[in-house]
Structure 1
Amino acid sequence: MGNMPGILYDRAGLPGGAEYLRRRTLVSAVLFVLLAVAAVVGGGEIAARRYMEETAAQARTTLRLAVSALEGHLKRYEALPALIADQTLVEELVQQPHDEQLRAQTNAYLKEINSLLTSSDIYVMTPDGETIAASNYDGPLSFVGENFSYRPYFQDAASGKQSRFYALGTTSLKRGYYFGSPIRVNGDVRGVIVFKVDIDGIERSWTGGESRIFVSDPEGIIFMTGSPEWLYSTIEPLTPERLARTEASRRYADAWLRELPVRRGSYAGHDSMLISQNATEREYLVVSAPMPDAGWTVNVLMDTGTVRAQTQTTMAAIFLFLCLAGLFLAIILQRRARLNERIQLQAEARNELERRVAERTADLARVNSRIEKEIAERRLTEKRLRQTQADLIQAGKLAGLGQMSAALSHEFNQPLAAAKTYAESAAVLIERGRTEEASDNVRRISALIDRMASISRHLRNFARKPNEKLGPVALDEVVRDTMEIVAARLNAADARIEVELDEHLPQVRAGTVRLQQVLVNIITNAADAVEGLENRVITLSANRNGAKVEVLVRDRGPGVASAIRERIFDPFFTTKGVGRGLGLGLSISYTIVKDFGGNLTVADHPEGGAVFRIELDAASESTLEAAE
């Protein structure tokens, strides 16, 4: 048998033949490249996170060792000032500060203690801050006679506290950590003793190595570092407030403070710091730990260059592996293609093809028979559908006529009742000679007639132009006009309505008359629900919710049963007695709100009664400008 018309076959009997194989190979190659790129990128990210985590663990270990070394070094001297302050010789000196013999004895004693404890300096001051004895009394930079009352450690100790402070010495120009203690005699503070601890030894141990360690104060100024070029640099902006606080305590004497060129960032999920130096920028992993007692923050920086190099090496390895895998897969596919080509040349393939064509021809004949039957059935179905459609159109016309009649009945009944009330009231007022009030009632009747004309015109326009343009509507004005229409019905039901409108409520996208019709229908239903009950309060509130405006009407009636909640907006569905409604008010209201692009729903309030929620779009600025 020959090939079927309209389909091209190759020698293997496959549609497209070699072209199909080429396309499949091309698609496979593209997919492989995409998967390779994803694998390289994903593998690089995983490797970077792993190497960064290892580097961070190493940095945290270094940080713990640095903090432990600092804390251990400082704790050696923490209790010493209070011990020396209790010595008899020191107490006698602060009571007789001008006794030269006591001064000499105290100077020698302090020098001996300082040499024994390997501290930097020990000195005693009077309550006014003047140094009267010091361990360096015989040196060229003796503290004796110097006044350090401006130092925070002296001020705290003079007030009776154990003090701490770190600074650059104004006399010695050497950095140190100061421990201060009050010297009490009979319970009164008569002086202050201070230990200055040298920190250069610890700092020297930080030089070299893979990490960079530095200590910063609360202002971000580097006070200790294994990199001398960073000393007295700040990792935070040098604001006037920071400079003022630093200069007030003269913490760094006359040292030149400068900002370190630093940029904060992150790499592989860890905080990093980029520091520019010598026209180059290097990235470091940052781990920090505070020392609250000392007022320091210890920072350890690890260069991320090694991590990036390792990550690139890993990505290259993944890429090479994928290339080898792709090459191996290409060889396999090529061999398979050649094998298929040889099979295509065999005669059995042609015979198999002809057999399949015969089977498919028989299948097509059966399918054609079924299709002819289905066509006949569908033609009959279409004929019935057209008949049913004509019947539905006629029913739709009747339903539309019923809705329009119900709308007119709902919308004209209330203004007519109000106009009758105003007319009767005007007659009484004229009889009593109160013509001004009667004129006001006549104006109200005229306004109601205008409203009825507007409603009639709106319904006529609605019938002619279904796609009526909407515009911005002031909700407070619509509510005010609605209250006038429903006033008579509320009085008849002895109900009271509370209006709660948001002060900054925007205009909504709607039609004035139709929106008023919706509110009249819902408030009238609420009056029907509370009539005859003890609590006859109805609440109308409105507020903005994002780009929407929500209008809520809540009554204190029996609520809406769940069994009828889904049907309450259906045409001709009503829960009222015979002769009290057509069941179209809520259906019409639902349709109107949908035309506005909004939504109308009903739910039961947790404290009782039903809540009707009208959700409308807030009028945008462009809509307002177009309306103007």
Structure 2
Amino acid sequence: MLKPLSNRRWFWIALLIALAAALAFYGSTFATRAYLDQAATRGKTTLRLAVAALQGQLNRFEPLPSLIADNDDIKELLAAPNDPGLRDRGNAYLRQINTLLQSSDIYVIAPDGETIIASNFDRPVSFVGENFSYRPYFQDAIKGKRGRFFALGTTSLKRGYYFSAPVHVGGAIRGVVVFKVEVDAIEASWLGGDDEIIVTDPEGIIFMAERPEWLYASLLPLTPERRARTAASRRYANATLRELPVARGNFENRLSLMTVNFERQSSEYLVLSEVMPDAGWTINVLLDTRSARTQALTTVAAALLTLGLAALGGFVLLQRRARLAERMEMQRFAREELERRVEERTHDLALVNTRLETEVAERRTTERQLRQTQADLIQAGKLAALGQMSAALSHEFNQPLAAVKTYADNAAVLIERDRAAEARDNVVRISSLADRMASISRHLRNFARKPNEKLGAVDLAEVVRDTQEIVAWRLKAANATLLVDLGRTPLAVKAGSVRLQQVLVNIITNAADAVEGLPDRRIELQARRRAGKVLITVRDHGSGVADAIAERIFDPFFSTKGVGKGLGLGLSISYNIIKDFGGSLGVLNHPEGGALFTIELEAMRNTVREAAE
């Protein structure tokens, strides 16, 4: 149940709200002032660099018109302006100088304002023949002064800054040399910066800007007087002048602000300006205030969050102290109640101890009976294993015994026919099979425990050859054909020779059973080396393995044969032998029919074959 807040807590809550309000109001103003001052400092640096760049560019070209005016060829031309040869030579000279200095245009104007030679004389847009008497730079130079003027070219329609100087011939002014420098390169150097840089003329019209849409827009109202002065000099040729929608303001009467409402977008800028009296320009650096105001807002939000966290921490601390006092009171009450209950339970425990002693005696008797039962189960397990091993021995000896009987019968027939050499060969084979049966007996005995035989490199070709001898009688009885393909490279696997042979005998015998009586009685044995392993496959062309028995085919005593035709131990023994070799044995149905048994064993170096070679 929540307790009502005390008067003291209400006081602290009210104080916290007052602090937050004061922090939001005064902190916002202070943070905004700090970040705007930082922006202004950065903007002043940008402004100084922009002014220095513009001033340096202008100072670079300012003395050049006077130097060209002192050229003898120019003076000779102005003395005889209609001489074609002098004009051609003058045009070539101005083009050479223009290319060398990488300026925009250089041209010479006669006293009547007509251009007689120009560096662009051979271009589609040429100044030759144009009259520029209306330009202030011509009017100043024809009076004997150096002229400076920036404007949009009426012929080239390119912005540029014009320098002019009079040409004195025989003590009289006989013409004017004009040098034009384009401002596009300077303007392009501003692109990509964080701040906006614009240049305005004395009428407040933007002459240079990073944004093309701001060009020829005025920051000041375009009064009739301003329009008339601009039109008289044709400063902007046929460009359309308009007013840029701006609203002036300030921050704390220290920083100048300007809001531009352009194309449905409103942007506030911090404005820093510097006048270039010689050029007649005003350089303005506009810094977007969104970053400063966002930083200020973030700072205030962080301060409010810190204050809130501090207040929350204090509130949590007070709550913990109150809860601690309440918990201590509850613990005192609980301790008293516990002491009372301990006294009650002590009596009950005495009765329980008596019952426990009786139960312990009964459990000891039960444990003795359990140990006796476990011993009986172990003995029964041993007897079951012994029975399985006896069945395995009977199953595994059937195949060699059948081969022995066949060879013995053949030997008797051969002796009757006086073919002693062939009979001797059968006797030798019977002896070999007897040795092999002894070896099989030894390995099947080890099947019930971990074999002591060490695994090593086994020549797969020899194992397959011995296997063919054992299963020859079964293949003949089933009229089946065993096709062996061991590849071109001799293969050796990590295994035991006799046990691996026994696995192949079991699998091939099962395959012979599967194809007996069918039209296609081929059995295909193939071996290939693959990525450090040897893959042995045995495929028959029988009916395959049914899905219902695929998971049980390697279980002991599981067989699909009729009664008396098998114990169902062959594949189980084979599976455990391959597992003991560290390999795997699996079966699946071949896509073209029949069962496909796959044995995967670790590949080894064929040391036996190498020693023979």
TM-score computed with the length of structure 1 as normaliser: 0.50
For residues 240-279 of structure 1, give each alpha carbon's deviation from its aligned partner in whole angstroms, at most 9, with x where no partner exists.
1110110010000010111111111234652221111231
Number of aligned residues: 326
Distance, in Å, in 1 between the alignment partners of 2:190 and 2:217 is 17
Note the C-alpha offset of 1:327.
1.7
| 1:109 has 2:81 as partner | no
For residues 365-394 of structure 1, give each alpha carbon's deviation from its aligned partner in whole angstroms, at most 9, with x where no partner exists.
xxxxxxxxxxxxxxxxxxxxxxxxxxxxxx
| 1:159 has 2:143 as partner | yes
Distance, in Å, in 2 between the alignment partners of 1:70 and 1:82 is 21
Matches within 5 A, 1:55-454: 55-267=39-251, 269-334=254-319
Distance, in Å, in 1 between the alignment partners of 2:25 and 2:200 is 38
Distance, in Å, in 2 between the alignment partners of 1:61 and 1:292 is 20
| 1:54 has 2:54 as partner | no
Note the C-alpha offset of 1:25.
2.7
Distance, in Å, in 1 between the alignment partners of 2:230 and 2:58 is 22
Moved more, 272-281 or 234-243: 272-281
Matches within 5 A, 1:549-564: none
1:32 aligned counterpart, secondary structure:
helix
Distance, in Å, in 2 between the alignment partners of 1:336 and 1:25 is 14
For residues 3-53 of structure 1, give each alpha carbon's deviation from its aligned partner in whole angstroms, at most 9, with x where no partner exists.
xxxxxxxxxxxxxxx99x833332332122112211232222222122112
Note the C-alpha offset of 1:105.
1.0
Letter in 2 for 1:274: T
Distance, in Å, in 2 between the alignment partners of 1:306 and 1:323 is 25
Note the C-alpha offset of 1:337.
7.0
CA RMSD of the aligned region, Å?
A: 2.3
Distance, in Å, in 1 between the alignment partners of 2:325 and 2:204 is 73
Note the C-alpha offset of 1:301.
1.2
Structure 2 equivalent of residue 429 of structure 1: none
Letter in 1 for 2:287: M
Matches within 5 A, 1:536-555: none
Note the C-alpha offset of 1:182.
0.7
Distance, in Å, in 2 between the alignment partners of 1:326 and 1:146 is 80
Distance, in Å, in 1 between the alignment partners of 2:28 and 2:318 is 29
For residues 395-420 of structure 1, give each alpha carbon's deviation from its aligned partner in whole angstroms, at most 9, with x where no partner exists.
xxxxxxxxxxxxxxxxxxxxxxxxxx
Flag structure 1 segments of 5+ consecutive residues without an equivalent: 1-17, 344-628
Note the C-alpha offset of 1:342.
12
Q: Which runs of 4+ in 1 moved over 6 A?
A: 335-343
Distance, in Å, in 1 between the alignment partners of 2:193 and 2:128 is 41
Note the C-alpha offset of 1:228.
0.7
For residues 291-313 of structure 1, give each alpha carbon's deviation from its aligned partner in whole angstroms, at most 9, with x where no partner exists.
11110011111211111221111
Distance, in Å, in 2 between the alignment partners of 1:173 and 1:217 is 18
For residues 89-121 of structure 1, give each alpha carbon's deviation from its aligned partner in whole angstroms, at most 9, with x where no partner exists.
111111111111111111111111111111111
Moved more, 200-209 or 327-336: 327-336
For residues 488-523 of structure 1, give each alpha carbon's deviation from its aligned partner in whole angstroms, at most 9, with x where no partner exists.
xxxxxxxxxxxxxxxxxxxxxxxxxxxxxxxxxxxx
Percent of residue pairs bearing the same amino acid type: 58
Distance, in Å, in 1 between the alignment partners of 2:323 and 2:6 is 13
Q: In 2, are the aligned partners of 1:41 and 1:315 still within 8 Å (CA)?
A: no
Structure 2 equivalent of residue 43 of structure 1: 27
Structure 2 equivalent of residue 466 of structure 1: none
Q: Which structure has the larger Rg over C-alpha atoms? A: 2
Structure 2 equivalent of residue 526 of structure 1: none
2:6 aligned counterpart, secondary structure:
helix
Q: In 2, are the aligned partners of 1:211 and 1:302 still within 8 Å (CA)?
A: yes
1:157 aligned counterpart, secondary structure:
helix
Q: 1:255–1:319: structure 2 CA closer, same or farther, 3 Å change rule?
A: same
Letter in 1 for 2:10: L
Q: In 2, are the aligned partners of 1:114 and 1:135 still within 8 Å (CA)?
A: yes
For residues 31-84 of structure 1, give each alpha carbon's deviation from its aligned partner in whole angstroms, at most 9, with x where no partner exists.
221122112322222221221122122222221221111111111110011111
Flag structure 2 segments of 5+ consecutive residues without an equivalent: 329-613
Q: In 2, are the aligned partners of 1:207 and 1:227 still within 8 Å (CA)?
A: no
